Amino acid sequence: MPFRDARAMSTATTGAPRPEGPLAGFTVGVTADRRREELVALLGRRGATVVTAPAMSIVPLSDDALLRRATETCLDGLDYVVATTGVGWRGWMSAAEGWGLGGRLVRTCGEAVLVSRGPKAAGALRASGLREAHAPESEALDDVLAWLLARDLRGRRIAVQEHGAPLPEFTAALRERGAAVVEVPVYRWGPPKDTEAVRRLAEQTARREVHALPFTSAPAIEAFLAAAEEAGRRAEVLDALRHDVLPVCIGPICARPLLSAGVPCVWPERGRLGALVRTLTGELTARCRREFDTAAGPVVVQGTAVLAGGTTWWLPPLPAAVLRALAERPGTVLSRTDLLRGVWPGPAGRRPDEHAVEAAVARLRTALGPYGRLVETVTKRGYRLAATR
């Protein structure tokens, strides 16, 4: 995984107090707004360095006239109710309670057929004393729509709780079947509170200064790519995600914007934050953790961390990238040109000259302390890692 030097990132070495864990040495970028703190905590407990840059913000509409009008319309009676998100359902119930309409709304929904997009929305329904009639295992809104369209909807009234944005295709399909649809806008996705932080994360991704990006919603991916576009780095960000920076999504629906851009993604079987972090941990360590034997004992390289002799050595990003390039082929001589291509991404004309490689190797040896001699110079050929296997 190639990296370029990152002035904004830590260059701490041995002795700095850093967290231990399977993600020690890895930097993970978080674009989520909702449940951000929980995701950051899960990653931090596994030793990751986390860069937070919410690509969107949730704008609640509890005082919005649109939501109240939709709620009052629902009180006239419903045949079906679609709950798309737990946070949205709870927000709707809370707003109705504040208007003195909570009890009536729960009773009205209880008399209808309740459809949940997934377990989080189902949990919110049950917390309201309600029970869903259907919840697709896929957690996909497309499957909710297919279930509804399999029924006679002529003259039926359907309330659709939106999740951050209107659902024009979903509601249009229901109306085409003769249903009267009440759209319930509980909250909206808004612009990020810190646009500069999102731009910096896009830059870090383009430069391979982060190792993974977990995503929890498709709109957040779209907003992140839009920020990369504004920074003039969209193509580089997509290239990094295709080859060097691991994208992990909460589920296949979330992954659609990346898949449509030709970026391969992974996701857990169940759309939970814990499962998301476990998938990220397993994939990242399998792809980027390198272990080899040396005359001084076993050495593990992962991210910007080196585990050797019972000590964790923390490297600056650029020397760490050089070490990882060598660790990909331990014992094999890599020329300075090889290292330039592997460590400095981008067109050849934008790369530094071979003196940059020599300087990075010197910094690497210094940062590794007594293990610096593992990086051997092969006269007139290049460098290699002194590995016994």
Band (pLDDT 50/70/90 cuts) for residue 161 is: very high
Cα distance between residue 3 and residue 368, in whole Å: 18
For the domain bounded by 59-189, which CATH number is listed?
Answer: 3.40.50.10090
pLDDT, tens only, 257-280: 999 999 999 999 887 889 999 999
Model confidence at 62: pLDDT above 70: no
Three-state DSSP at 380 gives coil
Domain ranges for the chain, please list them.
27-56+192-288, 59-189, 290-385
Which CATH number is correct for 290-385, 1.10.286.10, 1.10.10.10, 3.60.15.10, 3.40.50.620?
Answer: 1.10.10.10
User: In a 3-state reduction of DSSP, which class is residue 338?
Assistant: helix
User: For domain 27-56+192-288, which CATH number applies: 3.40.50.10090, 3.30.360.10, 1.10.8.60, 1.10.150.20?
Assistant: 3.40.50.10090
Does 27-56+192-288 match 59-189 in CATH topology?
yes
200: pLDDT confidence band, cut at 50, 70 and 90?
A: very high
In tens, the pLDDT along 319-354 reads 888 898 888 888 899 998 888 887 876 665 566 788
Res. 19 pLDDT band, cuts 50 70 90: low
pLDDT at 1 over 50: no
Q: What percent of the chain has pLDDT over 70?
A: 92
- pLDDT interval class at 14 (50, 70, 90): very low
Q: Buried b / exposed e across 166-200, counting CB within 10 Å, b at 16+? A: ebeebbebbeeeebebbbbbbbbbeebeeeebbbb
Q: What is the pLDDT of residue 386?
A: 87
Q: At what angle do helices 234-243 and 195-206 cross, to 10 degrees?
A: 50
Question: Closest Cα partner for 260 from 233, 281, 241, 283?
Answer: 241
Q: What are the residues whose beta carbons fall under 8 Å from the beta carbon of 22, sequence distance 6 or more?
A: 46, 47, 281, 285
List the 49-52 sheet strands across, edge first.
Answer: 49-52, 27-30, 212-215, 246-249
